[in-house]
Amino acid sequence: MLPGDLDKRSIMMKKTKITRSANAHSLRIGVDTGGTFTDFIAVFKDHQLTFKIPSTPRAPEQAILDGLIELTRAFDEIDGESDASRVAMDIVHGTTVATNALLERKGARTALVTTAGFEDVIEIGRQARPDLYNLSVTRPDPLVPRELRFGLKERITADGGVIVPLKQTELAWLREKLKRAKVESIAVSLLFSFADPSHERAVSEALEALNIPVSISNQILPEYREYERTSTVVINAYLAPVVSRYLSGLTHALSRHASKRGGSRLRIMQSSGGSISAQVAAREPVRTILSGPAGGVVAAMQTAELADAGDIITFDMGGTSTDVALCRGAARTTNEAQIAGLPVAVPILDIHTVGAGGGSIAHVDAGGALRVGPQSAGADPGPACYGKGTRPTVTDANLALGRFAGGGLLSGQIKLDEERAAAVIDELAAEMSRASSERVTRVQAALGVIRVANSNMERALRLVSVERGHDPRFFTLVSFGGAGGLHAAALAGGLRIPRVLIPAHPGAFSALGLLLADVIKDYSRTVMTSIENSHGHPREIERQLAALEKRAIRDLRAEGFAPSRMNLSRTMAMRYRGQSFELEIEASGDCLAKFHQAHLERYGHADPQRTVEIVSVRLRGAGITEKPELKRAGRVQRSEAQPQRSALVWLGEKRVPVSVYDRAGLKPGAMIDTPAIIIEYGSTTLVPAGWRASVDRWRNLRLDFREEIKRQKAKGKRQK
């Protein structure tokens, strides 16, 4: 926890500007709750503060409130005249509440209401098998057990015609069944409700008397594909009571905290890369499943653009997991994500997550193999070196290898217990020795943990790049998260990625992304229309898009945005007739040509003679928010950086002297050519031999892989 007398060791300060003056006198705060730490970044007038405090998993809101109290004190100490304790707070929050509830199966007791005969859709699923040759594969249990699925005698056709009307007797029967079942939340997904939502609306109205949250598919996801739509609305209903309770408690606590100031406003980060109000997030929590990681991707995109880094792969390594995403020109969203083995069809940034983080626990499995993760020590008890944990983690392995250079975490706030870390690594080495019948030393065990963790993360990086047809040698790896800097160079070297970019404040980088994100509203509607030529859209398409735009403008106005601060973008989900999956194409200009080109790029072929279908129209409405400006240095002077000291570090099987630098003392233009460790508040970076480090004008730390750069230059000369 932060001490009361905050200083430069506990909070890192940086002056900045506000891009617009409309909210210049509000206190803007990004809060990213992780499994180990809760990260804060706050902007007020020309000051910026960044800091971390330990998370409180049993009551996540407690860490947020503790941080806000210290935050206002710190601002008052910096600039007493500003009186930050009396201005309005504008908070954007990245939360793991929905994610954890889904992964741990701790959601509400949920009922599913569907068309009679389709009660088992969420259990039948599709025939796609992720483990094709696994004869003992097990599928995740459905979130709603069979006894809580109820079928109504009603039927609507695919074009919206009513075959079997919904009778009041059916609704009365349903209401009584749900009342007896004592459910906490209800999901409603009737067949073809996207074509005619009248039956779903009637169900919702009939169930109001139960005073139970009801999620209906035509509001959450009005698109075809019965399984994915039903799964998405079930997940929303499963999470709604949990997330609603959390946000309600947090909102009330913030109101009490802000009772003497100008009030507070709370927004929640969505998985799609934009924020929404807390009220909407409580009603549609399925949109917040990747809330925290999305902030990191948003910040990485803007940082990479300013630094002219080109196409990027993001690498966010925290305490419990690692999140990676490939961004080629823009961050890619998908409607085909799977979380905990369940499809989620709302827009989500295409982020791949693996259970590998600083707190990932290392163990020897029944077959004698060394495993790392996905179990994590989290914030409580945390890694052994934090003083409470009893099992070896990736952080303990790094400490045993000397890669923290004798320092602690958070500028000394958290002291690292080297003896405790060594003891748990010794226990792991003894297990490995018994399994292999050969003596394994502490160093060998620690190196093994790092290699296995790196292998898990490299596999994730390959999945989003090589396995999707992208050559990682033409990308920049943007590394952030508290643990990322110790592993980034090794991972980049394994994939022959020539550059690594480590932004300023990497430990709280996702929190910065929360402040850079706009308010985003996503809308969609299934249309199933053929398109014959490129001269504009069919009238029905234009009518549907116009209706979605009208709805987006209304909703953004309700969020407080004037038309001048709105940005609307149209897209269409298109495919060749007979295909099962679509490509999302911008709904402007020659859409057919764009589709054929996109199909060629994605699948390697296109057929301009085939009939093309527009399956769905989609609209994204953005409310442009006030953002902190990332200010570059006025002057960049090339110079060799001077190390503070040296430390002995195990790099492979050899223990070698390594120069140690304090990142706060590295000015733009500073060059580091030797193997080095760069320490800073919230993160530590390892620069191995063969890499060159420098600081650019945006104060990013850039690592260049010399051999890969030489190979690319030589290849370029041969091609000329």
Residue 174 to residue 171: CA distance in whole angstroms:
5
Both tokens of 503, joined, read 């932004």
Q: pLDDT band for 159, please (50, 70, 90 cuts).
A: confident
- Please report, for the domain that includes residue 205, its CATH number: 3.40.50
Give the domain range for residue 260: 12-101+244-288
State the average pLDDT over residues 97-123.
Answer: 93
Q: Which residues pair with 695 in a beta bridge?
A: 701
Residues 591, 592, 593, 594: what is their CA dihedral angle, to the nearest 10 degrees?
50
pLDDT tens digits for range 139-156: 889 999 999 999 999 999
pLDDT tens digits for range 281-292: 999 999 999 998
- Please report, for the domain that includes residue 278, its CATH number: 3.30.420
Q: For residue 414, what is the DSSP state?
A: B
Q: Are 586 and 598 in contact (CB under 8 A)?
A: no
47 sits in which H/E element = strand 47-54
Which position has the higher pLDDT, 538 or 118?
A: 118
State the average pLDDT over residues 409-429.
Answer: 90
Structural domain includes residue 500: no
Chosen domain end from 601, 624, 647: 624
User: Does one domain contain both 153 and 274?
Assistant: no
Q: Are 115 and 151 in contact (CB under 8 A)?
A: yes
User: Does one domain contain both 67 and 111?
Assistant: no
- Say yes or no to pLDDT of 12 above 50: no
User: Does one domain contain both 567 and 580?
Assistant: yes
The half-sphere exposure of 219 on its side-chain side, counting CA atoms within 13 A, is 18
Give the chain's largest Cα–Cα span.
82
Residue 30 to residue 511: CA distance in whole angstroms:
5
Q: Are 657 and 645 in contact (CB under 8 A)?
A: no
Q: Are 375 and 391 in contact (CB under 8 A)?
A: no
Structural domain includes residue 717: no
State the average pLDDT over residues 289-310.
Answer: 93
User: Does one domain contain both 55 and 174?
Assistant: no
Q: What is the mean pLDDT of the chain?
A: 88
CA 217 to chain centre: 24
Residue 212 to residue 110: CA distance in whole angstroms:
10
Residue 161 neighbours by CB distance under 10 Å: 11
pLDDT tens digits for range 532-584: 654 456 788 889 999 999 999 999 999 889 999 999 999 999 999 999 889 99
State the average pLDDT over residues 93-103.
Answer: 90
Closest among 599, 560, 601 to 576, alpha carbons compared: 599
Residue 145 to residue 147: CA distance in whole angstroms:
6
Buried b (16+ CB within 10 A) or exposed e, 618-634: bbbbbbebbbbebeeee
Both tokens of 472, joined, read 């990682």
Structural domain includes residue 337: no
- Say yes or no to pLDDT of 391 above 90: yes
- Say yes or no to pLDDT of 5 above 50: no
Beta strands in 336-475 (DSSP E): 337-339, 342-344, 348-349, 352-354, 360-364, 370-376
- Count structural domains, the chain: 3
Q: Is the dihedral of CA 185, 191, 195, 198 positive or negative?
A: negative
Structural domain includes residue 505: no
% of residues, the chain, pLDDT over 70: 92
User: Does one domain contain both 179 and 264?
Assistant: no
Q: What is the pLDDT of residue 23?
A: 44
User: Does one domain contain both 151 and 258?
Assistant: no
Chosen domain end from 624, 658, 682: 624
DSSP readout, 348-363?
Answer: EE--EEES-STTEEEE
User: Does one domain contain both 269 and 162?
Assistant: no
- Say yes or no to pLDDT of 82 above 80: no
Q: What is the pLDDT of residue 636?
A: 82
User: Does one domain contain both 40 and 25?
Assistant: yes
- Please report, for the domain that includes residue 534, its CATH number: 3.30.1490
Q: Is the dihedral of CA 606, 608, 609, 615 positive or negative?
A: positive
User: Does one domain contain both 268 and 146?
Assistant: no
Both tokens of 209, joined, read 């008397």
Residue 316 to residue 507: CA distance in whole angstroms:
9
Q: What is the pLDDT of residue 130?
A: 72
20: which residues sit within 8 A by CB, 6+ positions away? Answer: 626
CA 135 to chain centre: 33
Q: What is the pLDDT of residue 16?
A: 33
Reported pTM: 0.88
Q: Are 323 and 341 in contact (CB under 8 A)?
A: no
User: Residue 402 class from Cβ within 10 Å (0-12 exposed, 13-18 middle, 19+ buried)?
Assistant: buried
State the average pLDDT over residues 23-38.
Answer: 81
Structural domain includes residue 600: yes
- Say yes or no to pLDDT of 6 above 50: no
512 sits in which H/E element = helix 509-516
pLDDT tens digits for range 368-378: 999 998 888 88
User: Does one domain contain both 232 and 135?
Assistant: yes
Q: What is the pLDDT of residue 8?
A: 33
Structural domain includes residue 150: yes
650 sits in which H/E element = strand 645-651
Q: Which residues pair with 434 in a beta bridge?
A: none
User: Does one domain contain both 92 and 192?
Assistant: no
State the average pLDDT over residues 116-121.
Answer: 95
700: which residues sit within 8 A by CB, 6+ positions away? Answer: 303, 307, 501, 502, 503, 504
User: Does one domain contain both 149 and 133?
Assistant: yes
